[in-house]
Amino acid sequence: MVRVRTLITGASSGLGEGMAREFAARGHELALVARRTDRLEALAAELTAAPRAARVVTAALDVTDDEAVARVVPELAATLGGLDRVIVNAGVGDGRTVGSGKPTANLRTARTNFVAAIAQSEAAMEIFRAQGSGQLVLVTSVAADRGLRGAQTVYAAAKAGLSTFAEGLRADVHGTGIVVTEIAPGFIRTDLNEGMTMPFAVDAATGVRAMVEAIERRPAHAYTPRWPWSVLGPALRLMPMPLVRALT
């Protein structure tokens, strides 16, 4: 089996936790980071208890702490003897309507989903440039395809910025051994969005499996699951605003 070393941020819950399980089942060595170390350690114990389990290391990391990101990512790379893939997954979705007197939530969403993603990418790309290879995976959203209203306004804008950032990085490393992949999930049910109305939503296991399979293909961009989001995502860009409002 080919040795693959994958680092996942935001791995203590939701899609990050699901990807950790899926990659572990495929024999990947894992570096898992998040703020909640108790959950990370429990997850690592679960994954390493499986027969023929690969190595799993963990570290506490608040991705909005730029200095910590610059320190922890290379430390984990050194522990595993390098990194083949870094998945920038950590994010929040607790925005508010702009101008409603809740700027803290919107600024936190923007900083976590965009600014912190740049810091994570800086740390990953420095390692990949030194190695001459690696895959940087940026988890955006189908929301990146269109400006959305209400609580989703800043979330969609941050994901759109991250999508453009991914494209710029891809242009920068074109023709090298470094691959930049953007994964744009549609609606996937996790404990983080329980109770929300989400058309065409799939369960976490289905959604995570689609994400991991797309990541392994190493595309430039992939909607996950592919159906119906590979159609609805591009269509969202062309919809008249009254229809966008009605759908979101």
pLDDT at 217: 97
Residue 192's pLDDT is: 62
Contacts of 217 (CB under 8 A, 6+ apart): none
Full pLDDT tens readout for the chain, 248 residues: 568 999 999 999 999 999 999 999 999 999 999 999 999 999 999 999 988 889 999 999 999 999 999 999 999 999 999 999 999 999 998 889 999 998 999 999 999 999 999 999 999 999 999 999 999 999 999 999 988 888 889 999 999 999 999 999 999 999 999 999 999 999 898 766 655 666 778 899 999 999 999 999 999 999 999 999 999 889 888 888 888 777 66
* Predicted local confidence at residue 198, as pLDDT: 64
Distances (CA, A) of 115 to 59, 111, 239, 241: 21, 5, 29, 28
Residue 52: predicted pLDDT: 86
60: which strand partners? 34
Q: Is 30 left (phi over 0), alpha (psi -120 to 50) or beta?
A: beta
Active centre residues (catalytic): 155
Q: What is the DSSP-derived secondary structure letter of residue 54?
A: P
Residue 197: predicted pLDDT: 60
For the chain, which residues make up each domain, given as ranges?
5-247
The whole-angstrom separation of Cα 132 and Cα 130 is: 6
Tokens linked to 163:
């999508």
Residue 222 and residue 184 in contact, taking contact as beta carbons nearer than 8 Å: yes
The whole-number pLDDT of residue 63 equals: 98
Contact in structure between 179 and 218 (CB atoms under 8 Å)? yes
Q: Which helix (H) or strand (E) holds 110?
A: helix 103-110
Q: Is 237 exposed, middle or buried (0-12, 13-18, 19+ CB in 10 A)?
A: exposed
Q: Is 187 left (phi over 0), alpha (psi -120 to 50) or beta?
A: beta
At residue 121, the 3 state secondary structure works out as helix
> Which pair of structure tokens corresponds to residue 115?
């600014």
**What pLDDT sits at residue 168?**
98
pLDDT score for 199: 72
DSSP-derived letter for residue 64 is T
97-98-102-104 Cα dihedral, nearest 10 degrees: 120
Whether domain 5-247 has CATH 3.40.50.720: yes
